[in-house]
Structure 1
Amino acid sequence: MLLTSPPHSSDASLRERFHRRSLEHQRPLSTVTMAFTVVAFLSLVAARGFIGGPAAPLAYRLGWALVLALLVLAIPRAKSTCTFGAIGVAFSLALIGGLALNVAGLQQPLLWTLPAMVVIPVCAAPLWLTPTHFFVGSALFYATAIALLPGAPRTADVDIVMWMWIAAIGMPTSVVFHFGFYRFRRNHFLLEDQLAQLAATDPLTGLQNRRAFVAQAEQRLADVAQGGEVSAIFLDIDNFKSLNDRFGHGVGDLALRQVARVLLDGTAGTDSVSRIGGEEFAILLCEDLAGALRLAERLRGAIAAIERPDGNLTASFGVAEHRSGESIMVLLDRADEALLRAKHSGRNRVCSERPLPDAPLQSLIEDACGAAGSAGSRHRWEDYYLTSYFQPLFSLSHQKQVGFEALLRGELDDGALLPPAVLFAPKPSNDEGVLDRASHAVHLANARASLPADGWLFLNILPATFVADGYADELAAIVRRVGLAPQQVILEILESHGGSVGEMSRAAALYREHGFLIAVDDFGAGQSNLDRLLRIRPDIVKLDGELIRATGHGTEQPILPKLVSLLHQAGMLVVVEGVETTEELILAVESNVDFAQGYLLGRPAAQIASPGSVHLRIDDAFDVIAQGRAHQHALFESVVEPYRVALREAADALRAGVTMDRAFSCLATFERCVSCFILDASGRQLGPEVPGPAWSMEGASLHPVANPRDARWDHRPYYRNAVLLPGVAIASNPYLSLASGRPCIAVTLAAQFADERSVIGVELDWSAQGLPWPARD
């Protein structure tokens, strides 16, 4: 709710919170101070033993010390400010009583009691929690002291001195100490409270921010009684970006504040209202789904009455009811999914979570399992039919079909295909997870008729379905009912919302227990990233089709080979999708891709077709690569060989004692030469490098790392390979130069100079298009 409220309406609450907070801070300090006072009292008891004359029994005085100690032990257990104050008053009175007992029989009791009557109130002043406690405790202290400590007859000047100490020093000092510390504690509390409010408040609307909302919601869900009703409402202002873009952020901010006011006015004081971020708001309320829907509809109407420069504001709402054991984030995710359906179905409406329509789904599963073995069968779903199309996947090394991806299609009564945008469009009255489960039953039933015994079936599965409780067991049962084995099924997790990486990782282990293999679809697009792969650990990764056409910056060299190598090192097989041309097939083979899929190898069809002559097409790709590799190697060697020859000549000149400039004078004139250099046995540069013609092309040098003399290079392959083959000029693979940020290659040679081994080399600019690259990994 709104966290900023008028001061007069919350003074009592603020004072109570301040005193309780002070109690937490003062309790340990008071315990230590009062314990020290008990020790001081025991010291006085011990000192009294050195004074002659009649005295109260020692057991009485030690018993009084025990009373004081018990009051000290009560301080940590004080749960309220009243109890804390009462213990303080009791302690001060008990202390005065103990002092009176200790000085009984002395000829000059004032010498013992006057310092205590001055010091004790001053030391106790900062410890009193409230001014009331202070005045009551101090008044009772002095009254008791005067009553119990009259002492022996005194002269007038002694009385004047005594009251001067008490009235002129003790009382004013204790007042200053108490109110000074009280003010300090209060200012600290107000600052702490203000910072806490700022940390939990959205500054524009005054509502809770996301962090405070989630923390409060988690506490509320933890406290909700068994069977208690809690619902979440998620809402988003429609077309808010256009409001900012067309009329400025000032108009957008005003709209956000107006919506916040509508939400506050329309909800109860016990409801939590938050601006989650941007134009999104969330409400948590103690209502069932029906009550939350009624509130959402009222709020929708109220927001629709807010004017904007080009009409009226509208908002879309998603509503979900809390389920037992569910976290706040899962609840909000379900409400967010309902909100997305409201957006897709036209905006300015309320959509709720929908219970899974178990009856239609179970009916379709029964129908599909009963029809298992009938190829191309279709099954009724809403006002159309569901059927399967299959697209083959080929092992490039084996040059044969190894599996088929099942693709869902919708057919009308006349056999016409339903457009995918209609088939997969979110519907307010349906949960897309239900369609996902229905598709699995349809695909398994249709694949059973013609799936080869050694073939895989790739089933697409939404993350939300994949992590659903109990679905691993349910899917395994359906697979076995249609006559297949889970080992033949690869579950292909789609790029979609609906499950955290941690949940998918845990779910993957459950599916693997049944024998399913796991694949991740569209790696390289959307939310797919390397962290997701490493945590889920799929058996197969399907690369987004665009990756096959991606090239490195500044070159036309494909990045696919390196990406495939990375995934192989992580223990995952690779499928490349979208292979549509012979050139793309050749690149897939050359990149060591395991499996390929695309229109060039086979289009989706209602029947699982024989591979035909596709294996010959793949075989031709291998032949092209084999021939091209030899040609590429020869071409690369022909370009690099003059540099090798010149480098060997430079090495001979250096051995003969010629200076670096003269030894490299020929090599440094070659067109692609960036620089010539010498590295010592530890990989550090000896002397200055000799620049070549390509040095002048340095445009955007990476200045902090542009000086190679500060670095050590013995970890680079061009250094290690040269050391392994001393005397042989080695050409490296292209690498990204730290000095220039351009692709370069290095030609290096390890040679012995006097008593030290060195590596001499030349760096060549390899960024120009059309240059041959080495035909090896």
Structure 2
Amino acid sequence: MLSNSTQHLSDSGLRDRFHRRSLEHQRPLSTVTMAFTVVAFLCFVGARNLVGGPAAPLAYRLTCALVLALLVLAIPRARTIWLFGAIGIVYLQVLVAGMALNVAGVEAPLLWVLPALAVIPICAAPLWLTPTHFFTGTVLFYAAALALLSGEPRPHDVNVVVWMWIAAIGMPTSAVFHFGFYRFRRNHFLLESQLAQLAATDPLTGLQNRRAFVKQAERRLDGGAPDERISAIFLDIDSFKSLNDRFGHAVGDHALYQVAQVLMEETSAEDSVSRIGGEEFAVLRRDGLAGALHLAERLRGAIAAIERPDGHLTASFGVAEHRRGESIMVLLDRADEALLRAKHSGRNRVCAERALPLEALQLLGDDFAADGEVRRHRWEEYYLTSHFQPLYSLSHQKQVGFEALLRGEQDDGTLVPPVVLFAPKPSSDEGALDRASHAVHLGNARKSLPADAWLFLNILPATFIAEGYADQLAKIVRAVGLDPERVILEILESHGGSVDDMSRAAALYREHGFLIAVDDFGAGQSNLDRLLRIRPDIVKLDGELIRATSHGTEQPILPKLVSLLHQAGMLVVVEGVETTEELILAVESNVDFAQGYLLGRPAAEIAPPESVHRRIDDAFDVIAQGRAHQHALFESEVEPYRVGLRAAADSLLAGVVMDDAFAALSRFERCISCFILDDSGRQVGPEVPGPAHNSKGASLHPVANPRDARWDHRPYFRNAVLLPGVAVASNPYLSLASGRPCVAVTLAVQFAAGRSVIGVELDWSALGLPWPAGD
């Protein structure tokens, strides 16, 4: 491996990196060695002053020492290889000049300088960074030194000794030292580079690993220009685990390698590409969000062309643009969040980062007029605007709020179909339109809505739980001149947030004064647990619930559902009120607020409410008139059973046996059975069956025998005990024994052995039977 790497040292880029790395290593060593030489030169000057004879001025020699010291101080500041080499060459020339000044006037100058001629090149040899520097510096040193010695006549044997020191000892030794040390540094650099490359490279794909990617990204972000745009692309291979589990890890590894090749082919040399871990990859690109999204779409298409044994590979992408001051990890987290949305929304798609919460307001810019109104805001090929649908308090018979509904308009004012306006766009942030709609609605609401009306704002769960959005939305509300107390956030029935996250977020919104509503309860993901954990102030029932009926009897379930929600502390809005009959049912069911086309269609302008007030008032009149009639019908239907039950009670008190006492009553058409309960609610003796006894109910066989149960908790037992001697008819209930809607007529009777409750259970499952008025 090392020999192969060595061959590549001829590459200029690698050679330059080696020399720069050597400069870092050599700078401290050269500084110490050359500083020691300055000290040695000063000792040389001091020794010369101890010798008699004419000498060069001391100031000149000390000047040489000063220049040498300054060159030593310049070494740590040398940032280029050539400057470093030039300092070394000048240093040696000044050193030679200093020696020449120092030996002037001595009797045997050769004895003074010959050791230095051999030692200095040898000591300097390892310090030269490149062979070029070594040859240049050494040649110039010897040339200057020999010129210094050339003026002195010497015997032949002395010349031989001089050349032996220089040519036989100094030159070869310095060459061995330089090239030996150079080779050592080179091999060390290659090994270091190889190890660094191995530590920074994913062995399977050849891409950067996570550590190297993050380190390089940090350098790029720290060293980039203030206006430079950098984006991150995070991608994850879809269903990769199934590939390994079904076809083996070799197939999975090959898929990873193919994806890596696609990334390398589609990106440029300036892009950082990494396998982050597992089946996750990342790309750091010098480009804005739009360019990064375009690249991500190109990558997605290229990866989708890679075959796997059961079809083709796909990948999901998240893209985010770097924001000033944030770290690479924050950037990757935002790209990862977008990737998760791509996964959750169906895979094999690209999703962009979520816009900053305040960007919804900033996007509108000059669209805000001085009075805070926003008529239309440009969005893609059309404009965004607001339509408002009224909500009425049925008890107050007046408008109390308006739901803001987003509409798209073409340049000519025609509406954009909802399927176009709300069509999913994989490469964009689905929450961006949601946040932009909030700013549009709030701006329009300030001028359009009455001062005392609520504004219902639809909000996606993912937007609702977005970090910091509660604070930012409150700022937007106040910026347009509204109070958060007038805004009801209507959480849409949608994916994008856990119930725990929404519960925590709801507390943050309430701190600002917002009210919370849950939309479309009874449809999709909504359930009672969701309500009880979020604890909304208002629940909006799905429009289908107003038309829902119980099985068999076709009786509406709305009254009981409203009663349940009221007991949980929540106000109720029923949506989809389209007919007078539905409005009457909403009033009869004790619904708090109603909304629907019968009460007002969504529109840009608020319609006068007077006609709706009269319609609601008429519904109350219908209910008031019908309640007495409904009660009379019910009473007339159960009265014969009351009479029969009182007759049976008289017979029982007279000592008639149970079968004979109930004989007449048990032949009534709707009679399921006649029974006697003791004071604890347990059945006394067998029941007496009636004509309706053998109707459907076999599936409830394990609980079909009423003698196994205790019934004193039932309203028909309690009401009879409270009114002894009075035949009491219950509201319809679902019988545990028969599984059918039933009505019980009961009577508390005091026998000699104690108090008992006698009764008859009636089949109330037939269509058309009157039910008592609601609670």
C-alpha separation between the residues in 2 aligned to 1:457 and 1:359?
A: 20
For the Cα contact (< 8 Å) 1:458–1:492, is it kept in 2? yes
C-alpha separation between the residues in 2 aligned to 1:571 and 1:324?
A: 46
Q: Which residue of 2 aligns with 1:199?
A: none
Q: Which residue of 1 aligns with 2:760?
A: 762
Aligned mate of 1:697, from 690, 695, 698: 695
1:434-490 per-position Cα deviation (integer Å, ceiling 9, x unaligned): 111111111111111131121101010111111111111111111111111111111
Aligned mate of 1:335, from 329, 333, 339: 339
Q: CA deviation at 1:363?
A: 3.5
- Asked if residue 304 in structure 1 is aligned to residue 299 in structure 2, the reply is no
The AA in structure 1 aligned to 2:771 is W
Question: What is the aligned-residue identity percentage?
Answer: 70
> What count of residue pairs does the alignment treat as equivalent?
524
C-alpha separation between the residues in 2 aligned to 1:367 and 1:617?
A: 42
Q: CA deviation at 1:296?
A: 9.9
Aligned mate of 1:592, from 590, 593, 612: 590
Aligned mate of 1:473, from 471, 474, 481: 471
> Where in structure 2 are the equivalents of 1:381-460 lying within 5 Å?
381-460=379-458
> Where in structure 2 are the equivalents of 1:199-598 lying within 5 Å?
233-234=235-236, 236=238, 257=246, 263-267=252-256, 285=280, 287-288=282-283, 301=302, 304-306=305-307, 313=312, 315=314, 317-319=316-318, 334-339=338-343, 350-354=349-353, 356=355, 361-370=360-369, 372-374=371-373, 377-598=375-596
The AA in structure 1 aligned to 2:529 is D
Aligned mate of 1:679, from 655, 677, 680: 677
For the Cα contact (< 8 Å) 1:354–1:431, is it kept in 2? yes
- Runs of at least 5 residues in structure 2 that lack an aligned partner in the other structure: 1-209, 219-230, 261-276, 287-291
Distance change in 2, residues 1:306/1:605 (3 Å): same
Q: CA deviation at 1:739?
A: 1.2
Partner secondary structure for residue 661 of structure 1: helix
Distance change in 2, residues 1:551/1:235 (3 Å): farther
The AA in structure 2 aligned to 1:363 is Q
> Where in structure 2 are the equivalents of 1:148-187 lying within 5 Å?
none
Q: CA deviation at 1:361?
A: 3.6
C-alpha separation between the residues in 2 aligned to 1:439 and 1:302?
A: 35
Q: CA deviation at 1:499?
A: 1.2
C-alpha separation between the residues in 2 aligned to 1:563 and 1:746?
A: 23
For the Cα contact (< 8 Å) 1:368–1:441, is it kept in 2? no
TM-score, length of structure 1 as denominator length? 0.62
C-alpha separation between the residues in 2 aligned to 1:725 and 1:535?
A: 41
Q: CA deviation at 1:757?
A: 0.5
For the Cα contact (< 8 Å) 1:575–1:597, is it kept in 2? yes
1:196-221 per-position Cα deviation (integer Å, ceiling 9, x unaligned): xxxxxxxxxxxxxxxxxxxxxxxx99
C-alpha separation between the residues in 1 aligned to 2:333 and 2:657?
A: 71
The AA in structure 2 aligned to 1:486 is P
For the Cα contact (< 8 Å) 2:318–2:335, is it kept in 1? no
For the Cα contact (< 8 Å) 1:318–1:337, is it kept in 2? no
For the Cα contact (< 8 Å) 1:368–1:445, is it kept in 2? no
Distance change in 2, residues 1:432/1:307 (3 Å): closer
- Asked if residue 607 in structure 1 is aligned to residue 605 in structure 2, the reply is yes
Which shows bigger deviation, 509-518 or 664-673?
A: 509-518
For the Cα contact (< 8 Å) 1:354–1:429, is it kept in 2? no
Distance change in 2, residues 1:307/1:501 (3 Å): closer
What's the Cα RMSD here?
3.6
The AA in structure 2 aligned to 1:409 is R
Q: CA deviation at 1:289?
A: 6.1
C-alpha separation between the residues in 1 aligned to 2:257 and 2:457?
A: 47
Distance change in 2, residues 1:256/1:703 (3 Å): same
For the Cα contact (< 8 Å) 1:392–1:404, is it kept in 2? yes
For the Cα contact (< 8 Å) 2:300–2:316, is it kept in 1? no
Distance change in 2, residues 1:358/1:617 (3 Å): closer
C-alpha separation between the residues in 2 aligned to 1:665 and 1:289?
A: 90
Distance change in 2, residues 1:608/1:296 (3 Å): closer
Q: CA deviation at 1:749?
A: 0.5
Distance change in 2, residues 1:255/1:546 (3 Å): farther
Q: CA deviation at 1:264?
A: 3.2
C-alpha separation between the residues in 2 aligned to 1:381 and 1:704?
A: 63
C-alpha separation between the residues in 1 aligned to 2:354 and 2:593?
A: 39
Which shows bigger deviation, 469-478 or 676-685?
A: 469-478
Partner secondary structure for residue 469 of structure 1: coil
For the Cα contact (< 8 Å) 1:259–1:303, is it kept in 2? no
Partner secondary structure for residue 472 of structure 1: helix
1:671-704 per-position Cα deviation (integer Å, ceiling 9, x unaligned): 0000000000110000000000001213434011
Q: Which residue of 1 aligns with 2:148?
A: none
The AA in structure 1 aligned to 2:408 is G
For the Cα contact (< 8 Å) 2:338–2:353, is it kept in 1? no
Partner secondary structure for residue 508 of structure 2: helix
Partner secondary structure for residue 553 of structure 1: coil
C-alpha separation between the residues in 2 aligned to 1:755 and 1:263?
A: 83
Distance change in 2, residues 1:302/1:619 (3 Å): closer
